[in-house]
Structure 1
Amino acid sequence: MSDLVLAILHHLLILSLAGLLAVERVLARPGLSGASLGTLARIDAAYGATAGLILVVGFCRVYWGAKVPAFYLENPVFWAKIAAFAVVGLLSILPTIAILKWRKQAKADPAFTPAADDLAKVRRVLGLELVVFALIPIFAAAMARGYGL
């Protein structure tokens, strides 16, 4: 039963992360200011918290799930999945820093709006995150079918 609960939590968290990332990309558009900027900052914080929960639940699945840890730890497809997750995490640093900076500037100046070039850069990185993120379920499906063993 615990394996089922862990699997459900893991999948729901992954889907939530994808949704949060997509919402961030939609919100980070020209004209971003005020309340939308605050919403973007909260979405980004939820994104980070969700990513952390994915790591915790994933760790629990590896060590306390139905499969033995070696199933995961000795599988190169598992490590490719982890690498894709890490790349997404590293890519997310730039948007998070930008959003925090924008939020601080907006608190000092309620009329603040991010520069078009800065927004475009953040949107590109968020788009790249989505592309790399798409690899995660691909690797997961391959691993579940025994690839890499």
Structure 2
Amino acid sequence: MSDFLQASLHHLLVFTIAAVLACEWALLRPGLAPATLRLLARLDAVYGLSALGILLVGFGRVMHGAKGAAFYTANPLFWTKIGVFALVGLLSIKPTLRILAWQKRLRADAGFTPSSADIAALRPLLLAELMLFAAIPVLAAAMARGIGHA
């Protein structure tokens, strides 16, 4: 039952991140209103907490799950999945820092809106995050079916 609960939570966190990234990408448009910027900041916080949750639950599954650590650590797809997750995390740094900076400016000036150039610089990063993140469940599905195991 513990493995089932861990797997369920892990999957819910994956879906949460996918939804948050899609929402962030959809909201991040020129003419971003202050209320939308506040929503974007809340979504980015959910993204960060969900990513932390995935790491904690995921590594908990590796160490204490039904398949055992050897199932994961011996599979190159596991390490590919971890690498893609890390790459998504690295890509998220710039958008998160910009959103935090915009939040600070918004607190100082209630009418602040980010420039179109700032927004245009971040949209490709969010799209790259979305596209790479989509590969993670595919890698997980392959792994669960023994693909990559020697």
The normalised TM-score by structure 2 is: 0.97
1:106 aligns to what? 106
- 1:107 Cα deviation after fit: 1.2
Identify the residue that residue 117 of structure 1 maps to in structure 2.
Answer: 117
Aligned to 1:82: 82
Aligned residue for 1:62? Answer: 62
Conserved? CA contact 1:33–1:106, under 8 Å: no
Pairwise mapping of residues 1-149 of structure 1 onto structure 2 (< 5 A)? 1-149=1-149
Give SS of 1:148's match. Answer: coil
DSSP 3-state at the match of 2:103: helix
Q: Deviations over 1:27-81 (max 9, x none)?
A: 1111113111111001000100000000000011001110110100111000000
- Provide structure 1 residue ranges, at least 5 long, that are not aligned to the other structure: none
CA contact (8 A) 1:32 1:114 kept: yes
Post-superposition shift, 1:144? 0.7
Secondary structure in 1 matching 2:30? coil
CA–CA separation in structure 1 for the residues paired with 2:58 and 2:118: 34
Asked if the contact 1:81–1:139 (Cα under 8 Å) also holds between the matched residues in 2, the reply is yes
Q: Secondary structure at the match of 1:134?
A: helix
Shift of residue 132 of structure 1? 0.6
Whole-angstrom distance in 1 between the partners of 2:67 and 2:88? 26
The one-letter code of the counterpart of 1:107 is R
Amino acid at match of 1:91: L
Output the CA distance in 1 between the equivalents of 2:34 and 2:77.
43
Count of aligned positions: 149
Q: Percent identity?
A: 56
For structure 2, list consecutive stretches of 5 or more residues without a partner in the other structure.
none
CA contact (8 A) 1:9 1:57 kept: yes
